Structure 1
Amino acid sequence: LHDDLTLNLRKASVAAPALRVLTEENGRPVTLFYNGKDIDRDLYEDEEKIASVAVTRNENGVHINGLVGPQHRIEPLPVAGRSEDGVVPHAIYEIEQDEMLDKALAHSEEREKAVISERWNRGYQPQPPRVPENVTVELFFVLDTRHHSHFSTNEKLLIYLCVMTNSVNLRYGPAKNPRISFMVTGMDKSTNESYAVLANQNDKYIFDEGTLSNLKGYVHERETEYGQPDVV
C-alpha cells in the first residue's frame, strides 16, 4: 500500500450460506436472500496487521475498502481512472474516535456484593459442562435509515458488514478453549425506527437506555423473521 505498510492477504469468510435481508419494496415488507459465497468472494484479511478488506477488480484496476489495522481505514480516491503508472489511487485515514455523550458504569458496593464467591455452595460440585472446541456466533444486524442510506445496493452493505465482522474475528483470533468466530446471517434495513428515543427530537442523537429497551421488544417481535440468530 505504501513503503511502511504491506499486507499479506489471504481469503476470509464470515457470511452465512444464505443471508436474509428484510427491507421494503413499493412500501411493502419483503425478505430477500443472498448467496453468502457471493458476498464473501472479495473478503480478505491479514491476521498480523488485523486488516480486513474487500478487494474488487474492474476495468480501472484493483479497489480496496476496509480496515488496514486497528486505527486506520482505506478506500479508493474518487477519480475517473488509474494513475499514470496504472494504479488506482487510494487514501488511508486514521479512524476518528469521536467523543460522544456516553456514560460510564460506576462501580458500586451492591454489585460487588452480588458477585458469588468461589466458595459459594461448596457442598454442591456439579460436573462442569463440556466446552466445545469451536463456537460460531450468528450475528444479525438492525440498521437505521441514516446508516443504510449511505449504501447504493444491498450487496455493498452486506460486504461492509462482513468486513467489520471479520475485523472482530481477527481480534478474537488468539482466543482458545473455545475458539470463537462470528458469522453474518443478515440484516434488517428498518425504515421506521419506532424503537429510537431521540434526544430532544434531534435525530442526530438518541438516548441509549430507552432505545435499547425499545429495540429489545422490536427484535423479539421479529426473531423468527430474523432466523433465530444468536445476537442482534
Structure 2
Amino acid sequence: PTKQEMSGPEMEKNLYHDEEHMASVHLSEENGISIEGVVGDKLRIKPMDGMERSLDGQIPHRLYDINYADNKDNHPDDYAVPNTTDTDITPQSRLLWNTGLRIPVLIHPEVHVVADYDISRALKFDEKKIARYVAILGNSANLRYRSMVQPRVQLVIVGITVTNKPSDEPYMVKVEGYEATKNILYSDTIAAFNNYVMRQSYFDQSDIIFLITGKNMSRWDNQKLYTNTGGFAYCGGACTKWRVGMIEERVGSYYGVFVFAHEIAHSLGCVHDGERANPWPAGHIGSEDCPYDAGYMMTYKFAAPNMYKFSPCCQREVLNIYNRPAYHCLSEKNSVEARIYSSKLPGEVSSRTTYCKLVYKSYSYVEADKKYDMRKCIVKCFIDKKGGNMLIGAVDGVHCDKNKVCVLGNCTHKPSIKKAE
C-alpha cells in the first residue's frame, strides 16, 4: 500500500464550506471550473468527466441525491465493545500526558484513513483524487461536529493509505460464494484489520484508523446474509488498542458522510441515543436519557431539526472519555505537521441519473425521470423500463426552479459557500 502524509495548506486551498447548509465542496479552476462535494445532507455534486462542454467551454456538472433508510432496526451491530478484561488499553506510544480533570476548549482526534482496493481503483489510484475525496468526507463530518459545544471537536485527517492491489489488504474476510458481489464479513474484517494496524508502526501516532471500503459489509444471521450495516467501530476505541473503524462508501455518492461522522462518535465513546452504558470502558455513562426519536446524529431517525447535531448525551460522553487517562491522545497534537483538511461539499457535481444509479445499484435498469417536478426537491428514479420507480430526496445543489437549488430538502436560492477558515 502507498502511505501518504497530507499537506494541510495544499489540501485546504480549494476547499469551501457552508455550515448552515452542511455543504462542503472542492473547487478547481484547472481546465475550467470543476466542483465536487457535498451540497447538503442528501445532495451531492460532481463534474461529468468525458461529457461535451458547454458553448462557453465550461465543464458540465451533475447534481444527485442520496437516501438514508429511516429505521433503527435496519442498522444493527454498527458498534461493539471490545472483548477484553485488559486494563492497559493504551498503546505505550501515547502515554505522554499529565493527569487531572480537564475542561477542553477543543479536541482534535487525528484520523488516518485507509482507502481499500475498490475505493482506490474507483478513483484510479490517483493520490490527489483520493486525498480530495477523503478531505470532503472529513470536512463534512466536521460540519456536524460543530454542534458539539463541550467539548468542541474537530477531526484532523493526518494520513491516507492507498491500496494498490488486493494482496495489500490481507485483512479482508470475504464471504465464500459471494465474490462477484464483493461481500465481506465486517466483524471478522475489522478484527483482522485491527491486528494489521497494530503491526504497522506508521499508524502509531494516529488516534483513530478508519477503513473506507467499496465492498459490501455483510453478516450472517440464522443462515441469512444481511448487508444493511454501513459502518462499524469499537465504542470508546479511540486512542486504545481498538482504535479502528470502517465504513462502506460508493464512490461518487458520498453516501458515507453521515456514517463516517456517526462511527467516529462511537470511537469517541458515544452509544446510540436511548441506550444504556457499556461495561467498557470503565465509567461509561450511556445515553438512556436522550430519546432515540429526537433524531440526533447517534440515531438512524434522520429527523429535522436534529439530524445534523449530536445529542447532549453524546457530548457528555465525549467529555467523560476525554477526562480519562487512556484518552489523553485526543488533545495531544501529532508531531507530524502534514494534515488533510477539507471544506468540500459532497454534492454539487453529479446528475440525477448518476445519483439514482449509485443509490439503486442493485437494479439492472436505473434512470432519473427528468420531467419530474423538482420544486419539492424529490428525485424520481425509474428502476425498470415499465415505470417502476423510487422517490428519494434531492441532494443539496440540484437545480429545482429558476435561479434556485435544493438545499436540505427546500427549493431556495443557492447559499454562499465560504472559504474554510
With structure 2 as the length reference, what TM-score do the two structures score?
0.40
- Greater RCO (Cα-Cα under 8 Å, separation 6 or more): 2
> Is 2:41 the partner of 1:67?
no
TM superposition shift of 1:87: 4.1
One-letter amino acid of the structure 2 residue matched with residue 196 of structure 1 = M
The CA distance in 1 between the partners of 2:161 and 2:53, in whole Å, is 36
Which structure carries more strand by proportion? Answer: 1
| 1:142-153 → structure 2 map (5 Å cutoff) | 142-152=114-124, 153=126
1:213 maps to a residue whose letter is A
Question: CA offsets, 1:32-77, max 9 Å, x none?
Answer: 5442211222111111110111100023x21100110010110112
Alignment of 1:29-40 (within 5 A): 31-40=3-12
Task: State the alpha-carbon separation in 2 of the partners of residues 105 and 146 from structure 1.
Answer: 23
Alpha-carbon distance change, 51 to 32 in structure 1, aligned in 2, over 3 angstroms: closer
Q: 1:130-209 counterparts in 2 under 5 A?
A: 130-152=102-124, 153-190=126-163, 191=165, 192=167, 193-203=169-179, 204-209=182-187
Alignment pair present for 1:77 and 2:48: yes
| CA displacement at 1:208 relative to structure 2 | 1.4
Shift of the alpha carbon at 1:79? 4.6
Cα distance, 1:81–1:38 mapped onto 2, change above 3 Å: farther
Per-residue CA deviations over 1:183-220 (Å, capped at 9, x if unaligned) read 11112223322111111153411011111111110111
Q: 2:175 corresponds to which letter in structure 1? A: A
Q: In the TM superposition, what is the alpha-carbon distance from 1:103 to its structure 2 partner?
A: 5.7
- Specify which of 183, 197, 221 is matched with residue 199 of structure 2: 221
Task: State whether residues 4 and 161 of structure 2, in contact with CA within 8 Å, keep that contact through their aligned partners in structure 1.
Answer: no
- Rounded to whole Å, the distance in 2 between the matches of 1:105 and 1:218 is 22
In structure 1, list runs of 5 or more residues that go unmatched: 1-21, 24-30, 107-126
Write the distance in 1 (CA, Å) between the matches of 2:114 and 2:69: 22
Q: Any idea what SS the aligned residue of 1:148 has?
A: helix
- In the aligned structure 2, how far is the partner of 1:227 from the partner of 1:105? 27
The answer on 1:91 being equivalent to 2:101 is: no
Residues 72, 157 of structure 1: CA spacing in aligned structure 2 closer, same or farther, 3 A cutoff? same
The aligned runs of 1:19-38 (5 Å cut-off) are: 23=2, 31-38=3-10
SS in 2 for 1:176: coil
In 2 relative to 1, CA 230–50 (structure 1 residues): closer, same or farther, beyond 3 Å? Answer: same
Q: Structure 2: which amino acid aligns with 1:69?
A: G
Counterpart residue identity of residue 231, structure 1: I
**C-alpha spacing 1:139/1:34, structure 2 compared with 1 (3 Å):** closer
What is the DSSP-based 3-state SS (H/G/I as helix, E as strand, rest coil) of the residue aligned with 1:198? coil
Count of paired positions: 180
Task: Tell me which amino acid in the other structure corresponds to 1:199.
Answer: V
- Kept in 2: contact 1:50–1:167 (CA 8 A): yes
3-state DSSP class of the match of 1:162?
helix
- Alpha-carbon distance in 1 for matches of 2:13, 2:175: 40
**CA–CA separation in structure 1 for the residues paired with 2:59 and 2:143:** 27
1: CA distance, partners of 2:202 / 2:129? 22
Q: Is 2:4–2:160's contact at 8 Å kept on the other side of the alignment?
A: no
Contact 1:40 1:159 in 2 (8 A): no
Q: 1:214 to 1:98 in 2, by over 3 A?
A: farther
1:214 is paired with a residue whose SS is helix
Cα distance in 2 for partners of 1:137, 1:32 equals 18
Cα drift, residue 88 of structure 1: 3.0
| Paired AA for residue 230 in structure 1 | D
Equivalent in the alignment of 2:21: 49
Q: Does the aligned pair in 1 maintain the 2:5–2:160 contact within 8 Å?
A: no
1:169 deviates by: 0.2
How far the C-alpha of 1:84 sits from its partner, in A, is 2.7
